[in-house]
Amino acid sequence: MSAVDSLLAAARSGLDRVTPVRARELQEAGALVVDIRPLANRRAEGEIPGAVIVERIHLEWRLAPDSEWRLPAVTPDTTVIVVCNEGYSSSLAAADLQRLGLANATDLDGGFRAWAAAGLPVQAGGSPAVP
- Looking at the annotation, which residues are catalytic? 84
Residue 27 phi, psi dihedral angles, 5° rounding: -60, -45
Pick from 106, 67, 112: nearest CA to 85: 112
Q: CA angle at residue 28 from 41 to 57, to 5 degrees?
A: 35
